[in-house]
Amino acid sequence: LRGLGRFWFGLEPQTQGRFTSTASAQKENTTAKAAKESKTFQAIQEERREQAERSVLISCPSKINEKKFLDYLSKHGTINKHFFYNSYGAYAVVEFSSRESIASLKESINIPAVEHEAAVPFKSRLLSFKWPGSQSSSHPMPKFKVQSPPSINEINQLLSEKDSIDEQLQCLTEALELTEENVSLRFLVCSLLRDITGAYFPECIIRPFGSTVNSFGKLGCDVDMILDLEGIYATSQKKGSGLSLEYQVKRGASERAVTQSILSVIGKCVDQFGPGCVGVQNILQARCPLVRFSHQPSGFQCDLTANNRVAMKSSELLFLYGQLDPRVRHLVFGVRCWARVHSITSSIPGAWITNFSLTVMVVFFLQQRNPPILPTLDRLKELAGPSDKCVIEGNDCTIVSDLSKITLQQNTDTLEKLLQEFFEFYGNFPFNKASINIRKGKEQTKPETTALYIQNPFETTLNISKNVNATQLERFVALCRESAWLLQQKEILNRSSDSPWGFAALLLPSVTSGAGVKSRRKRKLEPASSRIKNLLDSLKIKGGETVAKKGSA
Ligand code: GTP
Ligand code: MG
């Protein structure tokens, strides 16, 4: 966390807008740091997990006297970092430099006596800071760190201030990506949950995976968690004498049945003992059984799974790809934002393309460039060292962990070019016969007739986009074609002050009607969108053939 002191201690000058250029320049994200320090994925996760274990989450008055608050807590030990944020009330995340401080703090805390009710006496690290009497407001207010993404209007405003599509995509990434504080809060919520599950399985770890750690997370995305029980199987027994002891255990019919039974108990505990955990749902019949709940103090929706190591490896793989070239993250953030605005992706599960599939599609596209921007998964396996060897349930999930072993070819494509060609590539991809395969970095013959076939990177007989139906794929293809065409129009690329241009123009409601593309957003058509509509109308007459001729979905 080098260089973040200023950030954590809230000493930077108050900025007026949340995304002024100074603010974004000051922001140093996880990915940039990792690249600089070239730590492995595992090392970064371990460091963050350990920091979270030394941290507490405290609800506090919004007009808090920061200095007095810190002085009070410092009685228990040195505070490494802290920050404040708002989520239906003010909260502080406080990281001590040692775990003993947490023990000392806990000893000094009472369980409150509640009138007309009774309390579950569970001593968690979610605390409330009480301040006797009214506070004077003469002291400076702490700076509250934003934890939610900018609105579409704020995004449009930001994009309009940039001078090129490349700058727009970089700025979009900076505005949407998880902040340092947000990632810390995510790890802290996992660690707080571990305090509950640790009562049953003291060696367990709750690890975040998915977009919290894969470097493509957007502020506001869910926290995917794994209850990792691997540590329990580690044994210190020495073989030799022939004598041994073993634990008597309860058995289930299958791994899945055991996972379901563990998660059902954990779900109940989270519901009944977990402070701040509300709306707990046990979704145990899903392909990947999970417990879903909201963690109110952080505002996160959490999905807790178990026995899901392959998903963690997929997160590492995406992280690694995100590290190799900055254009990867900029393009993924752009494509994900574009897809969300046009309802290609959705927060509700269904027949839509998921963010995970979209990211794999971007990776595949970047492997197709000439020269390629990203290496194949097979190449990442070849470069792996002996300690990288990883086999999960019979699937070889080995990938290199040391990024410095990967040499990349010189490719100087601009983001504008990549965006344009991404849309052309998928606007013309032979989805009817080919599958997307990032292991080989080549399209393959589709093994089955599902609309979209994207080979699961590690469980190679599975399709990660099996859920996508033909209608959703057609919508995606039609929008790709429309966006590719829009980017060819000079007018779209002309920076003008009064209407969205460049990438922002691609976020306007789609006007392609024949292909079944409808925008759910009923946004008022602005001058720019009527301009685009006219351009598209002319496309139907003049250029329609060009688009229609190329490939088929
Ligand atoms: P968000 O939409 O920002 O939450 O992106 P995400 O990457 O976190 O996706 P999601 O929460 O849907 O899933 C979490 C992780 O589970 C993904 O990053 C993948 O590693 C894994 N995952 C999701 N969907 C699939 C799938 O269909 N197949 C496989 N094998 N893994 C999946
Ligand atoms: Mg997720």
Percent of the chain residues topping a pLDDT of 90: 73
- Establish whether residue 31 lines the binding site of ligand 1, counting it when its CB lies within 6 angstroms of any ligand atom: no
Nearest alpha-carbon partner for 467 in 353, 364, 310, 360: 353
- Establish whether residue 30 lines the binding site of ligand 1, counting it when its CB lies within 6 angstroms of any ligand atom: no
Which whole number is the average pLDDT over 337-353?
95
More confidently predicted of 307 and 456: 456
Ligand 1 centroid to residue 314 C-alpha, Å: 9
Ligand 2 centroid to residue 542 C-alpha, Å: 42
Nearest alpha-carbon partner for 45 in 197, 206, 179, 286: 206
Ligand 1 centroid to residue 218 C-alpha, Å: 13
What pLDDT band is residue 497 in, cutting at 50, 70 and 90? Answer: low
Tell me the ligand closest to 213's alpha carbon.
Answer: 1
pLDDT at residue 408 tops 60: yes
**∠ Cα 294 295 301 (to 5°):** 45
More confidently predicted of 526 and 294: 294
Ligand 1 centroid to residue 131 C-alpha, Å: 42
Which whole number is the average pLDDT over 135-148?
82
Nearest CA to ligand 1 atom 18: 210
Rounded CA separation 228/37 (Å): 27
Who contacts 199 (Cβ-Cβ below 8 Å, separation ≥6)?
Answer: 269
More confidently predicted of 30 and 165: 165
Tell me the ligand closest to 345's alpha carbon.
Answer: 1
Which whole number is the average pLDDT over 325-342?
97
State residue 328 phi and psi, 5-degree precision: -65, -50
Rounded CA separation 32/2 (Å): 12
Maximum CA extent, the chain: 85
pLDDT digits (tens, 9 = 90+) for 68-119: 999 999 999 999 999 999 998 999 999 999 999 999 999 999 998 888 889 9
pLDDT at residue 49 tops 70: yes
User: Can you tell me the ipTM of this complex?
Assistant: 0.97
What pLDDT score does 335 carry?
98
pLDDT at residue 258 tops 70: yes
pLDDT at residue 32 tops 70: no
Which whole number is the average pLDDT over 355-363?
98
- Establish whether residue 354 lines the binding site of ligand 1, counting it when its CB lies within 6 angstroms of any ligand atom: yes
What pairing do the DSSP bridges indicate for beta strands 434-435 and 391-392? unpaired
